[in-house]
A and B are shown apart, each in its own frame.
Chain A
Amino acid sequence: GENVEQHPSTLSVQEGDSAVIKCTYSDSASNYFPWYKQELGKRPQLIIDIRSNVGEKKDQRIAVTLNKTAKHFSLHITETQPEDSAVYFCAASRRGSTLGRLYFGRGTQLTVWP
């Protein structure tokens, strides 16, 4: 099955700086890559996703890039704010796979210092 590796496990940045979280996947057939944010004591929520037919997607301060050849994708957060502090999970899946099978990374604890 798919194996998703996520780095780093913890990340601390100063408010206003950028943060980058990277994930690699093993199954070249994977074609859908969502990112979830989980604030302390809350549920994971989808913040952005990308499909394999595009290389980059942006939504305000967050962006995701995908390199299919290298089988890695990254989350970029610019102008970080304290409310960005949370655990971020990447995931991968492929159309036609076992229904709803999202393979998650281990998560990155992002802390943004004011």
Chain B
Amino acid sequence: ETGVTQTPRHLVMGMTNKKSLKCEQHLGHNAMYWYKQSAKKPLELMFVYNFKEQTENNSVPSRFSPECPNSSHLFLHLHTLQPEDSALYLCASSQGSGGEETQYFGPGTRLLVL
């Protein structure tokens, strides 16, 4: 399962730290996504990128800052996070047209904010 990779797999950070999550897809897809997965909550879409352009920001707080330098790489920059931001952050990619695209997920980064 190397189509979509994420690093790091685990991250512990303080509320004043700055860190970045990285996602890379090797599937030749044009669309990439960030999701947040918390206990007892549905998968929450955070950001969508298509051909490096952000097409959706799902009312995400500004302490989360995405970056998509090219169609294969996606970053999520984190700063001054809150304990409630602790969750599994999943990256996904799809071919890149609307609606019916199968999304392929990465293994996720398990984030703990102290």
Which of A's residues lie within 8 Å of B, judged by CB? 4, 31-32, 34, 36, 42-46, 49, 51, 89, 93-102, 104-107
Contacts and interface: CB of A to CB of B under 8 A. Distances in A.
Contacts of A89: 42-43
Contact of B43 (A42, A45, A99, A104): A104
B108 interface: yes
B106 interface: yes
Contact of B1 (A4, A31, A43, A93): A43
Contacts, number: 73
Nearest to B30: A99
Nearest to A102: B103
Given A43-B4, A96-B98, 19 more contacts: A31-B99, A31-B100, A34-B103, A36-B105, A43-B1, A43-B90, A44-B90, A45-B105, A46-B102, A46-B103, A97-B99, A98-B48, A99-B96, A100-B31, A100-B99, A100-B103, A101-B56, A101-B99, A104-B43
Nearest to A51: B100
Contact of A43 (B41, B99, B106): B106
Nearest to A89: B43
Nearest to A30: B99
Q: Which 5 A-B pairs have the closest CB atoms?
A: A95-B99, A43-B105, A32-B100, A104-B43, A104-B42
A92 to B, nearest CB: 10
Nearest to B6: A43
B42 A101 contact: no
B32 to A, nearest CB: 9
A99 B48 CA distance: 7
B43 A100 contact: no
Given A43-B1, A100-B33, A101-B45, A49 B102 contact: yes
A51 B55 CA distance: 24
